[in-house]
Amino acid sequence: MGDDTLIEQVRRRYLAVNGDHPMTEDDDAYVRRHFVEATPEAMGLMLEDRLPLPSYLLSDGTPMVPAAHGALAEVAGGVDALHDWFVAFWPDDAATAEAEWGHYLSGQYVCLKEVSPIRIRMKTARVAEAAAAIERLRRDPHDEIGRGLIGQAVDGVLAVPGLDAILLPMTAYDRLRFGGPTVRETWVDGPRREFLTPVAPVWPLRTERLLLRPWRAGDEAALAEAWADEDYVSLLLTGTQNAAEVAEMVRRRSDPGDGMLVGLVAEHDGEVVGDSLLILQGTGLSEGEIGWTVLPRHTGRGYATEAARAVLRMAFEHYGLRRVVANLDARNDRSAALCERLGMRRETHRLGDFWSKGRWTDSYEYALLREEWRAQQS
């Protein structure tokens, strides 16, 4: 009876903060997955404004809190120390500190996987970066500061987690109580769709002698002989492949997937002469890795150079990349010569870092920045 009264008081406080909106079965299931039932002890502390109110009420009225509800108080050295410990994370901004404390106590920080001052500060910083990035990128989709900011905001860099890693998906109920899209929809899904989802150029690309187009069924006929040849594959990542494996490789490469791997076949006079590859990667998808092959009977005519130049143009002009790299086995003299012909710089010579076909070998990384490429064009 005593507990019922406690629950009723907590429910009233909750409804005063959140309004009365229906929870669907899916919402209930989501909340049960990510949150736990509040204990009577925690409910008592909520009513004294010493611990956050519930994050949700299930449709049967059960108050639900984050699994770590109360854990911050232990870190802080006890519930009584929690407020001062919390606001100390905003040492120069008492107004923000108290506003964040109030929001924390309301239980409405449901966007965060882990509700803590550190994560709250991270979320605020990442959202500010995303907002700045969106403004820049709507003006110029290739703005390199915008690309860096959006990449860090959404996906993070090195030790900096992005919003994708720290935000929960939230529910239809949250859209009702907060009156709009969820935080994740606004700051992860939207920006990812608008700025981090590659859109392919119109195919084919044409150069003086070549046509570059996506892979398609039937390309295996031109490749089978080369891929069965030990010499041809000796400096590639994979070993020899039989006809069935080549056909399967072609089938996989013919699927554009998420657009991050742009695989192209080069044709001369209707005959397949080789292929080129651009993998979009790096913070804000601002870097690409380029790759190439020319079938043995077509080498020595400059086809790889011509195809790679078209791929570099596509990388910098269409995809707006700021840097393109090539990684190669250091024994691959022809590939290194090709990099040099393209004006790429050898940035790295890694000693014995690459295990390939039964031995350790050195590898090179070549790179070309957008401004270097532009200077070549003039």
Binding residues for ligand COA (CB under 6 A) = 232, 235-236, 291-294, 299-305, 328, 332, 334-335, 337-338
- Counting Cα atoms < 13 Å in the Cβ hemisphere of 273 gives 21
Q: Which is nearer to ligand COA, 305 or 356 (CB)?
A: 305
**Closest distance of CB 298 from ligand COA, Å:** 7
**Closest distance of CB 244 from ligand COA, Å:** 21
Q: Which is nearer to ligand COA, 107 or 291 (CB)?
A: 291
Widest CA span of the chain, in angstroms? 89
Spatial separation of the C-alpha atoms in residues 191 and 126, rounded to whole Å: 12
Residues 15, 63: contact at Cβ < 8 Å?
no
Query: How does DSSP classify residue 193?
Result: H
What distances in angstroms separate CA 264 from CA 209, 216, 272, one per listed residue? 15, 10, 11
DSSP output for 245-297: HHHHHHHHHTS-TTSSEEEEEEEETTEEEEEEEEEEESGGG-EEEEEEEE-GG
**Closest distance of CB 324 from ligand COA, Å:** 14
**Closest distance of CB 36 from ligand COA, Å:** 52
Q: Which is nearer to ligand COA, 43 or 226 (CB)?
A: 226
Residues 312, 350: contact at Cβ < 8 Å?
no
Residues 55, 177: contact at Cβ < 8 Å?
no
Q: Which is nearer to ligand COA, 171 or 207 (CB)?
A: 207
**Closest distance of CB 228 from ligand COA, Å:** 14
**Closest distance of CB 296 from ligand COA, Å:** 8
Q: Which is nearer to ligand COA, 177 or 298 (CB)?
A: 298
What distances in angstroms separate CA 296 from CA 90, 223, 327, one per listed residue? 64, 10, 21
The single-letter code of the amino acid at 58 is L
Q: Which is nearer to ligand COA, 42 or 246 (CB)?
A: 246
Residues 365, 347: contact at Cβ < 8 Å?
yes
**Closest distance of CB 153 from ligand COA, Å:** 33
Three-state DSSP class for residue 68: coil
Q: Which is nearer to ligand COA, 163 or 307 (CB)?
A: 307
